[in-house]
Structure 1
């Protein structure tokens, strides 16, 4: 390898041979840039990980390879990744070579997505997809390092604020709100569904795939062993921890007994009763649109949109947009002390009830809700020990 000034120009040239014996000549604006590149490439060549710029593939080419590697994933997951690629990654950086993607480049790309109006959760989702794309490219020796991974897992906004904690009454419904929502729901499937969701913490996909043979009304338990994806296809939970057995309360058992007599399906607990899927799996969006949102509007569990209707009356919207709010409620009920009307379960039991793959996930989401102990008594003990 050598660094020299190119004759007749103010550019600096770096010549080297790659691991295959192919010669490359790279131009730089300054001698310092050329020397830095020489040092970097020298280390990469020694580690047998160097990818020359001319040999580097584009983000679009890497995206095609990554999607092929995702063939065994669920259809809904693949479609989500494909959407990230086609709607956000390809239009913005699809022609960029992987060798040009460093940490500053990724930060600029994410800022550009925000300028285009993407929500922060969507920006994070696209970032995860880009990181997975680069990891796949690393396996095929198409890129030296994963810039997204180098950024770390820091998800704090640029203004320095910490990740928002879930708040009761904002993200987590209160017990009073859940009572109102269930009471205002349509009788039958809708009411039983919302009650089971709130009293078991099952995910929407698990509730949609719930079958009668998974419920033991005599023992008062429900076995969670399958889920329905966005396309109505049944499969196992996303992780082994998702397979679990949950207890049912006496009142809920009695309500399920009544519902089983009225239910039109001997297979699914909450079957679809309209269209071609009659007796099959409920559509997730229909549950939100027909059950959860109307129940909240009827119960007055709403927030103002800031707009007025034709008669000058305020327009309201459901306070909780998704079914995950009822899962949050169940988690908080498990965590709350018995003095506060909860179950007072420890961290490991809460993890198992929710079907989280690790205790870290449980504590990341709900750790701030666990009791912190009697600080006054603990400080008094310390005071007595040291004085």
Structure 2
């Protein structure tokens, strides 16, 4: 059974043989009351408190948790958040895409660790989580979506700590986040696409056409292999992506897809093949060392081209994908076909991203009911 000890007083045997309380060597130093209880393995565990009522409540809580089977050793939460994330959480992320892992690592380094890296996992409170959101939201350089992702990273780490029985509850639960505004895609102008193709490092020119002409993501463009280009059928078979200079399979069945392409894209692919040797594995785009291009090197080349062309700072390769989708919408392509070509998991994702680009006015569809109901039977 649990108990509470007074660390400032002890019972001592008196000369007459009786027992009496007297001051201990710790009298007036540190926390006075020691909560003592048994963990599920039968070992004695303790924690000091300044007030007796707090020690008694803690013993009661530990005993109740042990009986319910929800006991978590308070000492486990003393590991720092950085140490827990680096040694336990990140190594367990074998189920996520490399790009997702990189996103987590980036937000840990730039936002979570500066706030909580040196803190014990068990010391982080809901008030701390709320303050973290408020601080991020007050940074004019961060968008609401960035705040959401950064906080989601912290929340996932803390939930993993709950699952690993490091802490009893997630302090990030029920924390309100800034409202996300309606997402409005403003596609790149046609001239900008051509200018980027001319301005970027020549061996990466083809990537611009794969983004703007086939809607490929950066990793998909850098990982496209020559055998997956069906010149006769005029399509690309998207199965792999490049990550950190290596080829890996696409994670979801929705990302693995057949994308029809126009002659211009095929002509650019043929042109590229005549100028540059493929990387090992017949990867279409290679770097100067004849290996698979790394995202960091490609991003540097992309940023230089953006600056040279005069596009807004922060223009991304992903904006070429938006250009492609907007072109399909303008051409009247069926939304389900657009979903498949973009590799979206659902039509909801397609409409949430590009819904504002679809034609929507009061005259659209007018006359369809008259045509059906007024026509002779």
TM over 0.5, yes or no?
A: yes
5 Å matches for 1:70-219?
70=93, 81-82=104-105, 84-85=107-108, 88-112=111-135, 119-120=142-143, 123-148=147-172, 150-151=173-174, 155=177, 157=178, 161-168=179-186, 172-182=187-197, 184-185=198-199, 189-219=203-233
Instruction: Tell me by how many angstroms 1:219 deviates.
Output: 0.3
Q: Deviations over 1:207-256 (max 9, x none)?
A: 11112111001000101111111x20110113232111100113333343
Instruction: Tell me by how many angstroms 1:72 deviates.
Output: 7.3
User: Do 1:14 and 1:26's aligned partners in 2 also have CA atoms closer than 8 Å?
Assistant: yes
Instruction: Tell me by how many angstroms 1:354 deviates.
Output: 1.6
User: Do 2:201 and 2:301's aligned partners in 1 also have CA atoms closer than 8 Å?
Assistant: no
CA distance in 1, matches of 2:305, 2:159: 44
User: Do 2:217 and 2:321's aligned partners in 1 also have CA atoms closer than 8 Å?
Assistant: yes
SS in 2 for 1:227: strand
Structure 2 stretches of 5 or more lacking a match? 10-27, 370-377
Taking a change above 3 Å as real, the CA distance of residues 365 and 221 of structure 1, as seen in their structure-2 partners, is: same
SS in 2 for 1:280: coil
CA distance in 2, matches of 1:61, 1:289: 32
User: Do 2:234 and 2:266's aligned partners in 1 also have CA atoms closer than 8 Å?
Assistant: yes
CA distance in 2, matches of 1:190, 1:44: 60
| Structure 1 counterpart of 2:342, from 347, 354, 363 | 354
5 Å matches for 1:1-387?
18-20=39-41, 22=44, 24=46, 27=49, 44-45=65-66, 47-58=68-79, 59-63=81-85, 64-70=87-93, 81-82=104-105, 84-85=107-108, 88-112=111-135, 119-120=142-143, 123-148=147-172, 150-151=173-174, 155=177, 157=178, 161-168=179-186, 172-182=187-197, 184-185=198-199, 189-229=203-243, 231-265=244-278, 267-272=282-287, 274=288, 277=289, 279-291=290-302, 293-294=304-305, 297-298=308-309, 301-302=310-311, 318=312, 321-334=315-328, 336=329, 341-346=330-335, 348-372=336-360, 374=362
SS in 2 for 1:242: coil
Q: CA RMSD in A?
A: 4.3
Count of aligned pairs: 340
SS in 2 for 1:240: coil
Instruction: Tell me by how many angstroms 1:206 deviates.
Output: 0.8
Taking a change above 3 Å as real, the CA distance of residues 164 and 225 of structure 1, as seen in their structure-2 partners, is: same
Taking a change above 3 Å as real, the CA distance of residues 48 and 98 of structure 1, as seen in their structure-2 partners, is: farther
User: Do 2:200 and 2:304's aligned partners in 1 also have CA atoms closer than 8 Å?
Assistant: no
CA distance in 2, matches of 1:376, 1:359: 21
SS in 1 for 2:89: helix
Instruction: Tell me by how many angstroms 1:199 deviates.
Output: 1.2
CA distance in 1, matches of 2:38, 2:304: 64
Structure 1 stretches of 5 or more lacking a match? 303-317, 382-387
